[in-house]
Amino acid sequence: MIELLQSSSNTFNVIAGILGLVVGSFLNVVIHRLPLMMEYEWRSQCTMLLEHLPREIPKTFNLMTPRSRCPNCAHQISALENIPIFSYIILKGRCRSCDLPISFRYPLTELVSSAAAVVVAVHFGFSAAALSAFVLSWGLISLCGIDIETQLLPDTIVIPMLWAGIVVNYFNIFVSLEEAVLGAVFGYLSLWTVFWIFKLATGKDGMGYGDFKLLALLGAWLGWEILPIVIVLSSIVGAGIGIGLILFFSHDKSKPIPFGPYLAVAGWIALLWGDEITAQYLYSVGQL
């Protein structure tokens, strides 16, 4: 099988796409359940401190148990209803039991996960870099989904992913170990510094601490030299989308817009084309 994947790029690309669909289905579980798991844990801690009963907390609730259910009517999802993309199409985007709409986030996550895997497979070919990039891509997708829905970037994903980047680069997969460590340090400190400058100037929080950790994660995977590209790209995309939401969708200016997805998208672009973007920029300013 390994020889087949090495010799046939088309086979590897197809398998990557199918694997992306399957992983995307699981990422939907992560995006939906992990914030609830965090809420249940916080409520349990509050119960111990305040000595009153919170909202009912399931005895067993994690990424594997209980089985997937409709969030509206608690209908248990069967295997045939849980096939990535196809089940959504067959069910016409509605729950078979209560007929209420199924969030489009579910097939979208599966499609994005699959597409990202195919792009990574085409870019890197069958290699350790591709397998590592799969992990980073899927981790970033889950963080984007959670941040968009809850404005949280859970440490239970960010911190292990940060350490994974350092471990990966211990073997010089993307950058050297030294560049990875400096990337994690500078990634955190750069946004931390911006946060405090903004806070001292305005008295308001401009971003959350999760954003610092996310940029540290990207630095650990991609090295410190790529950080300016990630910051610039994420700022441009974030500013453009933010202005568009305010002008065309009447977004409340006082309601914060999560910055994590912009960092994640910029980091993924830098993973694939960071060197080309840097070279093009240097060429445009006459440095090459």
pLDDT score recorded for residue 69: 81
Cα 228 to Cα 231: distance, rounded to the nearest angstrom: 5
Sequence letter at residue 2 = I
**Residue 216 CB contacts under 8 Å (≥ 6 apart), including other chains:** 162, 183, 184, 185, 187, 188
In tens, the pLDDT along 202-224 reads 887 777 889 999 999 999 999 99
CB 79 within 8 Å of CB 104: no
pLDDT score recorded for residue 272: 95
- Which pair of tokens denotes residue 61? 């609730």
CB 180 within 8 Å of CB 172: no
Where is pLDDT greater, at 286 or 264?
Answer: 264
Cα 239 to Cα 234: distance, rounded to the nearest angstrom: 8
pLDDT score recorded for residue 235: 86
Number of C-beta neighbours around residue 57 at 10 A: 14
Spatial CA neighbour of 27 closest among 112, 152, 118: 112
pLDDT > 70 fraction of the chain, expressed in percent and rounded: 92
What is the phi/psi pair of residue 94, to 5°? -135, 150
Spatial CA neighbour of 5 closest among 184, 115, 127, 87: 127
The predicted model scores a pTM of 0.87
- Which pair of tokens denotes residue 139? 């981790």
Residues linked to residue 94 through DSSP beta bridges, in sequence order = 101
Where is pLDDT greater, at 139 or 41?
Answer: 139
Domain boundaries, the chain: 1-126, 127-288
- Which pair of tokens denotes residue 243? 């202005």
Cα 246 to Cα 250: distance, rounded to the nearest angstrom: 5
DSSP helix/strand/coil, 43? helix
Check pLDDT > 80 for residue 281. no
In tens, the pLDDT along 94-121 reads 988 898 898 889 999 999 999 999 999 9
In tens, the pLDDT along 33-83 reads 999 888 888 877 777 666 554 555 566 777 778 788 887 888 888 888 888
DSSP-derived letter for residue 234 is H
DSSP helix/strand/coil, 94? strand
Mean of all residue pLDDT scores within the chain:
87
Where is pLDDT greater, at 242 or 52?
Answer: 242
- Which pair of tokens denotes residue 219? 């630095």
Check pLDDT > 60 for residue 288. no
Lowest mean pLDDT among 64-73, 165-174, 229-238: 64-73
Residues linked to residue 25 through DSSP beta bridges, in sequence order = none
Sequence letter at residue 41 = E
What is the phi/psi pair of residue 76, to 5°? -75, 130
